[in-house]
């Protein structure tokens, strides 16, 4: 009989890729996704199963049974945990096997890695530690707009066959709207490219602010708000390593200052959770929240339909961009232009966070 030997390290699961920032919260999904079935996803090269435990709390384990390695996402969720769909081993939210059908003794090694997860503002977050089992050392991000009665919102997700930072580049540079999104949120391409852009940053965040007074309202804005021929438009983008918040909108010309936090008009609050799957693929969890004009109360459906169309356009551009980068190889070097300032700042932040992974390992 041939015996298969599995090392202790392999049995415990390998560490997340050092090519991504670790000791960070990442978006794992939306609360509404966790109902009765487990969900299998890969984050930072780690196969994870997400499920809602018997106490109603979200849980995450590595996606394999310690017996024969069938993905636990192929199993079923019970009050006591998640049961493997091969031989019925039952695991608690801490990753420890609590039942082996037909066998009273449970070996001490019968366990899999558990991940820390948290739910907040209808989002599920997963902590990806530098060291297996490492505890979160920062607060879970907040996105209060999901719970603000001022807004109606909807959400969705995409899988990208492209590195995650290409999506950061896209979202931090909205000058492309006039070329890529003519049918929805675009507008005059020359105005977008010539609009002054203010970029500020610290060790973890980048903020990009653009004001466009006297703009022609794009189709999505007209569908959601009774604008005339022109509007005063704003774009405020805030980047953090795991997600971006984008506040866009417009107000009737001259009605209020665009830097007034309490300004009226159409407000669109976009959440963009970009979580690496591998070095060459990623998950994109998005939501869009919109306020309502008193005379146009039921516009969120139109807004979401058009926003999703813009995301389809962006995905086509980014995946084609990455295919071309692979085709041209070393020749696919980039030159910078004025609209790259925000994206370049974000890349520097992520590069520094990745370097800190290596410093932690060396220490």
Report how far residue 123's alpha carbon sits from residue 272's, in angstroms, rounded to the nearest whole number.
Answer: 11
Domain span at residue 20 reads 8-128
Q: Quick check: is 137 in a domain?
A: no
Same domain, 124 and 153: no
Mark whether 152 and 284 lie in a shared domain: yes
Contact in structure between 215 and 205 (CB atoms under 8 Å)? no
Beta partners for 58?
A: 52
Torsion 314-319-322-323 (CA) sign: negative
For the residues of 169-216, what is the DSSP string, one character each?
HHHT-GGGHHHH-TTTT---HHHHHHS-EEEEE-SS-EEEEEEEEEEP
From the DSSP assignment, how many helices (H) and strands (E) are in the chain? Answer: 7, 18
* Burial classification of residue 350, based on how many CB atoms lie within 10 Å of its CB (0-12 exposed, 13-18 middle, 19 or more buried): middle
Task: Say what the pTM is.
Answer: 0.91
| Whether residue 179 sits in one domain with residue 75 | no
- Do 120 and 44 lie in one domain? The reply is yes
Q: Which of 262, 185, 192, 258 is nearest to 223 (CA)?
A: 185
Q: What is the reported pLDDT for 362?
A: 52
CA neighbor of 214 nearest in space, from 193, 188, 237: 188
Measuring CA to CA, which residue among 237, 258, 257, 239 is closest to residue 247?
Answer: 237
Q: What is the pLDDT of residue 16?
A: 63
Are residues 243 and 309 located together in one domain of the fold? yes
Q: Is the dihedral of CA 294, 295, 298, 299 positive or negative?
A: negative
Residue 204 falls within a domain, yes or no?
Answer: yes
Q: Residue 263 and residue 281: Cα distance in Å, rounded?
A: 39
> Cα angle at 185 between 224 and 209, to 5 degrees?
105
Per-residue tokens: 222: 């007209």
| End-of-domain residue from the set 65, 96, 128 | 128
In a domain, 278, yes or no: yes
Residue ranges of E strands in 105-191: 114-115, 117-120, 123-128, 152-160
pLDDT in tens, the chain (363 residues): 333 333 333 333 455 678 999 999 999 999 999 988 999 999 999 999 999 988 899 999 999 999 999 999 999 999 989 999 999 999 999 999 999 999 999 999 999 999 999 999 999 999 999 988 899 999 999 999 999 999 999 999 999 999 999 999 999 998 777 777 767 776 676 767 778 899 999 999 999 999 999 999 888 888 889 999 999 999 999 999 999 999 999 999 988 888 898 899 999 999 999 999 999 999 999 999 999 998 887 788 888 888 888 888 889 999 999 999 999 988 878 888 888 899 999 999 999 999 998 765 555
Domain for residue 165, yes or no? yes
* Cβ proximity of 347 and 165 under 8 Å: yes
Question: How far is it, in rounded angstroms, from Cα 70 to Cα 91?
Answer: 13
The structure tokens listed for 194 are: 């010539």
To the nearest 10°, the Cα dihedral for 249, 255, 258, 261? -90
Q: What is the pLDDT of residue 2?
A: 34
Q: How many domains, the chain? A: 2
Interacting residues of 302 by C-beta distance below 8 A, sequence separation 6+: 220, 223, 224
Output the CA torsion sign for 230, 184, 244, 279. Answer: negative
Which CATH number characterizes residue 92's domain? 2.102.10.10
Q: Which residues fall within 8 angstroms of residue 34, CB to CB, at 6 or more apart?
A: 50, 51, 52, 58, 124
The CATH number of the domain where 168 resides is what?
3.90.380.10
């Amino acid at each position: 009989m041939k015996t298969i030997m599995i090392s202790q390290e392999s049995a415990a699961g390998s560490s997340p890729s050092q090519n991504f920032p670790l000791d960070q919260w990442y978006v794992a999904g939306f609360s509404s996704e966790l109902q009765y079935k487990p969900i299998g996803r890969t984050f930072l090269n780690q196969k994870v199963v997400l499920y809602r435990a018997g106490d109603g709390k979200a849980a995450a384990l590595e996606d394999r049974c310690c017996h024969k390695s069938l993905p636990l996402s192929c199993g079923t969720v019970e009050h006591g945990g998640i049961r493997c769909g091969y031989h019925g081993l039952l695991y608690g939210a801490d990753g420890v096997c609590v039942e082996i059908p037909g066998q009273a003794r449970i070996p001490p090694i019968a366990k899999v890695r558990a991940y820390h997860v948290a739910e907040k503002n209808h989002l599920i977050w997963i902590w990806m530690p530098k060291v297996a089992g490492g505890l979160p050392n920062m607060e879970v991000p907040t996105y209060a707009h999901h719970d603000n009665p001022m807004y109606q919102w909807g959400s969705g997700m995409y899988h990208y066959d492209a590195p995650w930072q290409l999506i950061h580049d896209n979202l931090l540079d909205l000058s492309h709207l006039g070329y890529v999104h003519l049918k929805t949120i675009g507008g005059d391409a020359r105005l977008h490219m010539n609009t002054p852009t203010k970029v500020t940053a610290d060790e973890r965040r980048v903020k990009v602010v653009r004001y466009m007074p006297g703009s022609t309202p794009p189709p999505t804005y007209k569908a959601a708000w009774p604008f005339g021929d022109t509007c005063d438009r704003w774009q405020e983008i805030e980047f953090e390593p795991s997600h971006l918040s984008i506040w866009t909108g417009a107000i009737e010309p001259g009605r209020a200052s665009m830097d007034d936090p309490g300004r009226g008009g159409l407000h669109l609050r976009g959440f963009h959770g970009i979580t690496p799957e591998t070095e060459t693929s990623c998950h994109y969890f998005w939501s869009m929240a919109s306020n309502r004009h008193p005379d146009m109360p039921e516009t969120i459906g139109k807004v979401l339909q058009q926003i999703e169309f813009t995301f389809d356009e962006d995905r086509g551009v980014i995946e084609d961009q990455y295919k071309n980068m692979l085709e041209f190889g070393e020749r696919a070097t980039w030159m910078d232009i004025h609209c790259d300032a925000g994206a370049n700042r974000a890349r520097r932040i992520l590069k520094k966070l990745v370097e800190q992974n290596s410093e932690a390992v060396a220490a």
